Chain A
Amino acid sequence: MRLTSLFLGTFCAAVCSAMPGWAGAADERVTDFTLSNGMEVVVIEDHRAPVAMHMVWYRSGSADEPVGQSGVAHFLEHLLFKGTDTLAPGELSATVARNGGQDNAFTSYDYTAYYQRVAADRLDLMMKMEADRMRNARLSDEDIVTERQVILEERAQRTDNNPRALFGEQMNAAQYMNHRYGVPIIGWRHEMETLDREDALSFYQTHYSPNNAILIVAGDVTPDAVKALAEKHYGPIAANPELPPRLRSEEPPQTAERRLIYRDARVAQPSVSRSYLAAERDAGAQETAAALTVLAEILGGGQTSVLSEKLQFETQTAIYTGAFYSGVSMDDTTFDFVVVPAEGISLEAAEAALDKVIAEFLTTGVDGAQLERIKMQIRAADIYARDDVERAANRYGRALTTGLTVADVQAWPEILQAVTADDVMAAARDVLDRRRSVTGWLMAEEVSQ
């Protein structure tokens, strides 16, 4: 039995999907090309059902926002359902629904994506509307006011009503002193309250253009047909020659351990979290990230992980332990731990136990049999992944908006398979340095005497 769902919220700021550990099938179903205006296109074929997933991903997310306008990327995402020169507010979604389809959008630090899931023969109409939305959105002042209330309600639901999410915000803010990953995707409430039409339009005009977008179509489609439709609908949109480079303020080297305590009366179960700044997957250089991916599984991937073994089985120190790493990120990401102590164990003791396990691991090294089992699961993940073409579409979207290429995505399973015990230990020694860490205690309010 696992408690993952209870505690993942600690790490996920506003928008966070469960990451498959290592899926990334290298297979022949994927075709990619670029339109003359710079729009990249990826086609993933699966002809088992006559369904298509049509997605447009923009290489812009909350980490690309101007100072003082946190949440504007996500706010704009909401506003882009409000109509264009030719579509009334809500008409795009209503049209998708009338065609038996479903649509939505999501925003993260590094990307914003819009999608429709629909019968494959409706692709032409979907592209027509999505291409329209890339340049022709119309925002009324009334829409701004109402939708700002909606995103504030969304923040209340996701974050303000959830002490673990509030704690996660503080952890991120402490981890990223200079980089925008320290600011929540949904935005700080006081800045969200001031977002206006000009802020949204400015972000839109700066970032929404074909040369900053990736089209992904997955399902019962052929590359030739997708190409013809993409050239018809997206092809005529001019590239934006003014598209700015993705310049972000980088994190300085961390030279001091950081600690925080978050107290909230709504916390029923205290926990300790630890994060370390860690390298992300880079184009052509994914080896370190692969080693860290395997390391997270070894240390805290479940029942047979080192932390579980030491803190849940050999001793009853914790009722839940976990280690997390996702390398899909433009800039430096984090390697995270959480320990939920057993009754009667203090956070101080739980933290000490975590550090002891890490220190021992750095001495004893990797269990070869465990590494072999992980490799087996990586191989199987490629087979299971073939059953879910939409997940594959998301995988490519996240990768291509964070600086990776199609070739990187396809090389990933082999790079994971090639990870050795030595690679894992080298990555562990490099990352797991307490001087470059943030430790947070999530606690209930102190009881006054």
Chain B
Amino acid sequence: MIRVLWAAVAAVLLAAPLRAEIAIQELMSPGGVQVWLVEEHSIPFTALEIRFQGGGSLDLAGKRGATNLMVGLLEEGAGALDARGFTTAKEELAAEFSYDIGDDAVSISARFLTENRAASVELLRQSLVEPRFDADAIERVRAQVLTGLRQDEKDPRALASRAFDTMAFGDHPYATSFQGTLDSVAGLTREDLVVAHQGALARDRLYVSAVGDITAAEVTALVDTLFAALPATGAPLPEAITPNFPGGVKVTDFDTPQSVVLFGQPGLDRDDPDFFAAFVLDHILGGGGFESRLMQEVREKRGLTYGVYSYLADRDSAFWWGGSLNSQNERAAEAIDVIRAEWLKMRDAGVSDAELSDAKTYLTGAYPLRFDGNGPIAAILVGMQMQGLPTSYVTERNAKVDAVTKEDVARVAKRLMDPEALTFVVVGRPAGI
């Protein structure tokens, strides 16, 4: 199945007649749950990816961290099983469930053996639908979250993220950590967790994909089993926000030898007609590996960092153009100057033919390399659903990259790159800033 998908992508690369024969099945369960499936029967297990849109940004006022704590408790007792009973049952089945949360989604990744599928799905169902939120479990996980928060207060990278988010996102949930604060987490009650659970794990924001040893009939029955008892609608999703980038450098003093530097400026939406041109531009600037301009100028030529990267952030409530590096305190100022110079240079002169051509061959060649296992494919498919992309995207995506011209890149560079807005947030003791 994976091979078929590659073949379709390769066809684009070679400009051969495109065969839209892709093995993703778009299914609708009798209960009304959409699921994308790739059947892969050569290994007797299934990878299942589940996303609930909203995630940490759904926290109610004064309850920051409630969704995070709730997600941390899903595997700490469900149905008739307490925390240890749940883990014991999972170990007996050799099933693997991971529960994760971000600003925009709650993510559940599961793997289970074909021989144990029914029992594994039932266990997973209990954790999603019937979490117990036992008092002792709440206290145990709360203590872990609080420890993480205390560590973040002395971790330069976490401090830099906080400073960046505070600056960029005003009163939007993105401005603060979805893990909450020491005070807010300390004040959360069991009732808050129940409310967070009802608000976050609802069917109106559910996305599911499966890859592995399972048929269409089996997977549609499976998703109905898993999700039928969840509420139809959840908490309202947050409003969009335009991030604030005032320009300049903001330093937070912290006694550590190496400064952590985050930078950002306005970006663009994935639906923007210039998105692919910007994507290629970002790759050339700092999105790629050793060959990116930032990596060449900051690391390879000057040795100012171990790594410097840029990225186009396309989150549910905001989009921006960001980047990061670490640089020892006495050298961070020079690193920032070099990045600024590259920003200007790119805005004014765009990219060369060779850079564009190299970026395209990399981006189009690397895309199929992502589809290299059941778990990775399931994660890609669920991500596509959340972005509203059709299944045909996997065959069309490389053509969009190839269609980008040097003029497109130059235009988007002029339109987007804004050295005045480009803002640096530094945590450390940088010299000369």
B-contacting residues of A (Cβ < 8 Å)?
1, 3, 6, 47-51, 81, 89-90, 93-94, 97-103, 117-119, 145-154, 156-157, 160-161, 265-269, 302-304, 309, 312-313, 316, 319-320, 340, 342-343, 373-374, 376-377, 379-381, 383-384, 386-390
Contacts and interface: CB of A to CB of B under 8 A. Distances in A.
B84 A309 contact: yes
B320 interface: no
Contacts of B255: 265-266
| Best-buried of A51, A156, A266 by chain B (most CB within 10 Å) | A156
Lowest 9 CB-CB distances: which A-B pairs, in order?
A100-B365, A149-B303, A380-B94, A1-B72, A156-B258, A303-B87, A154-B306, A373-B91, A146-B303
Contacts of B156: 161
Contacts of A156: 257-258, 306, 326, 328
B369 A117 contact: yes
Interface string B4-28: 0010001000000000000000000
Given A50-B3, A153-B306, A376-B91, A146 B300 contact: yes
B148 A266 contact: no
B291 A153 contact: no
A371 to B, nearest CB: 11
Given A153-B305, A268-B151, A383-B44, 17 more contacts: A1-B76, A6-B147, A49-B2, A49-B371, A50-B368, A97-B290, A98-B361, A100-B361, A100-B367, A267-B154, A268-B147, A268-B154, A304-B91, A309-B84, A380-B113, A384-B111, A387-B43
Nearest to A391: B373
B140 A312 contact: yes
B140 A6 contact: no
A100 B283 CA distance: 13
Nearest to A265: B255
Contacts of B368: 49-51, 100, 119
B315 interface: no
Contacts of A377: 91, 94
16 contacts: A1-B72, A49-B368, A102-B289, A102-B366, A102-B369, A146-B302, A150-B305, A153-B304, A157-B307, A161-B258, A161-B260, A269-B151, A313-B83, A340-B147, A380-B45, A383-B44
B261 to A, nearest CB: 12
Contacts of B47: 387
A304 B148 CA distance: 22
A156 B328 CA distance: 7
Contacts, number: 197
Contact of A161 (B72, B76, B256, B307): B256
A102 B7 CA distance: 20
A448 B93 CA distance: 53
B328 A152 contact: yes
B22 to A, nearest CB: 14
Nearest to A342: B143
Given A97-B358, A157-B258, A342-B143, A49 B84 contact: no
Contact of B45 (A160, A309, A313, A387): A387
A150 B291 contact: no
B251 interface: no
Nearest to B85: A304
Nearest to B111: A384
Given A100-B366, A156-B328, A312-B140, A304 B84 contact: yes
Contacts of A150: 299, 303, 305-306
Interface string B60-92: 000000000000110110000001100110011
A192 to B, nearest CB: 13
B290 A93 contact: yes
Interface residues of B, number: 80
B375 interface: yes
Given A102-B289, A269-B150, A153 B328 contact: yes
A48 B362 contact: no
Contacts of B94: 376-377, 379-381
A213 B408 CA distance: 46
Nearest to A375: B94
B188 interface: no
A153 B326 contact: yes
Nearest to B358: A98
Interface string B342-376: 00000000000000001001101111110111110
Contacts of A6: 147-148, 151
B305 to A, nearest CB: 5
A316 B307 CA distance: 41
B292 to A, nearest CB: 10
A93 B292 CA distance: 11
B189 interface: no
Interface string B145-164: 01110111111100000000
Given A49-B372, A101-B365, A373-B91, A90 B290 contact: yes
B302 A1 contact: no
Contacts of A268: 147, 150-155
A97 B288 contact: yes
A51 B369 CA distance: 7
A14 to B, nearest CB: 12
A98 B360 CA distance: 8
Interface string B87-129: 1100111101001000000000001010000000000000000
A383 B290 CA distance: 36
B325 to A, nearest CB: 9
B415 interface: no
B159 to A, nearest CB: 11
B327 A153 contact: yes
Contact of A94 (B2, B141, B290, B375): B290
A153 B332 CA distance: 11
B362 to A, nearest CB: 4
A36 B246 CA distance: 64
**Residue with the highest number of chain B CB atoms closer than 10 Å, among A3, A147, A160:** A3
Nearest to B71: A1
Contacts of B44: 383
A67 to B, nearest CB: 26
B40 interface: yes
A89 B301 CA distance: 11
Contacts of B87: 302-304
Given A373-B92, A390-B372, A384 B45 contact: yes
B144 interface: yes
Nearest to B145: A1
A147 B111 CA distance: 42
